[in-house]
Amino acid sequence: MKKATLAFMILLFAFSLPLQADEIVKTGINVGPLPSVAYNTDTGFQYGLLANIFFYGDGAIYPEYYHNVYVEWNRTTKGAGLAQIEYDSEYLIPGIRVTADLSNIIQQTWGFYGFNGAQSVYNASWVDEGSVAYKNRLYYAMKRNYFRFLVNFQGNITGDNFRWLGGLGFMNFNVGSVTGTNAWDTSFTDPSTLYDDFVSWGAIRESEKDGGIVSYLKAGVVYDTRDFEACPMKGMWDEFVLTAAPGFLGNEDGWLQIAAIHRQYFTVIPEDLSLTYRLGYQGVLWGKMPFYMQGMMPNSRKTVDGLGGNKTVRGIMRARMVGDGYLYGNLEARWKLVYFTLANQNFYFGINPFIDAGMVVQPYRYDRTGIPAERVDDYISGDAENIHVGYGMGIKLAMNQNMILSVDYGFAANANDGSTGLYIGLGYLY
């Protein structure tokens, strides 16, 4: 993966100016606009804008905020894009924390490698244009576009640390073959993809192959003792979440999913260095989730894509591990190296070495009988699922402690999971 960003230019500019350690208490509205600029060989050049808008009021609770709105719009030269508005506040409804997300997500080249982690074979030569076995470089890709709306509520059970969680969500998926939507690419020697083959063999059901609507309800509990959300130096953040998508909400097949996440933060050097880890599990308790929901990972605030890539196991190909249930973990050190002020804003620069891991522990059930017997070994491995590992280093540039520009670079420990990944975004992983 190749990406270029203005983040490095911003860093160089910031460090070329005099440093000052005194922090300024922020008040009123603070807007942190940035260009959303990147490059990826599959999606092309990304261009757009993003902004993190904080309302600090009279500054009495700074660096905490009263309201936060995150807005992003981007497009790429080869058809991908995002339009998103997120909102977060503990003050909109007194005593209730409200988080909401309205997004339209275009993923013309979403990774699809089969199901159940190591039990699905990844043939690198099929996407290598220099190989005699070359099929096409997007063989392990599919179209996966969707509209998403979700809103979550949290309120206290006992004190500020132990809270109840409730929420609802709606998703409308439009999925299909990547070769039918990327007319710009004429390099294919074989126009089929793994998605196309799985559809023709019946491994992906006819009723699911074009996508569909998913409506769900969410309930759970949260235990949170973090000292500061954007970059905690101590405390725990635990979640237990049930997600139900019953048939009466318009879902083709009803299902019930469980997710449990534990995160903990330790101070090594006060204010400057912390050691953190995250452990997570999720699984399907009842029913059958559609194949295009495989890899969706719910938590108390939103649903993210995994397992593999920038939100879960960095360095491993996005959505490499797909199944009904997962175990995953992350270990990360966060070191704030330099503090300074610039243009009346507070900044710090830091690094975060990390190691991530995950595996499928509950396989996705699908029909394999249609796969030609002579080709089964090309797609399904007889190996048992194992632990997939990624490791690497990140850098962070934070403005007013809340808006954190993040650049992580990860390596896959096993070639069957990919090679490297570069991830540019906002905030720490957890």
Residue ranges of the domains in the chain?
A: 7-426
Q: Can you list the residues of the chain whose pLDDT is less than 50?
A: 1-20, 41-42, 183-184
Is the separation of the CB atoms in 356 and 347 below 8 Å? no
Q: What is the pLDDT of residue 18?
A: 44
Q: Any bridge partners for residue 141, and if so which?
A: 111
Q: Any bridge partners for residue 168, and if so which?
A: 151, 217
Distance CA 174, CA 106 (A): 9
Q: What is the pLDDT of residue 266?
A: 98
Q: For residue 12, give the H/E element and its range.
A: helix 7-15
Is the separation of the CB atoms in 149 and 121 below 8 Å? no
Per-residue pLDDT tens digits for 71-96 = 999 998 777 899 999 999 999 998 89
Question: What is the three-class DSSP state of 247?
Answer: helix
Q: State how far the alpha carbon of 249 is from the alpha carbons of 278, 286, 314, 319, in Å.
A: 33, 16, 35, 27
Burial of 223 (0-12, 13-18, 19+ CB in 10 A): middle
Pairing mode, strands 235-245 and 255-269: antiparallel
Q: What is the pLDDT of residue 9?
A: 41
The helices-and-strands tally (H runs, E runs) of the chain is: 3, 20
The angle at the Cα of 276, spanning 299 to 394, to the nearest 5 degrees, equals 90
Q: What is the pLDDT of residue 99?
A: 94
Distance CA 117, CA 362 (A): 10
Q: What is the pLDDT of residue 179?
A: 65
CA-based diameter of the chain, in Å? 70
CATH architecture of the region 7-426 = Beta Barrel (2.40)
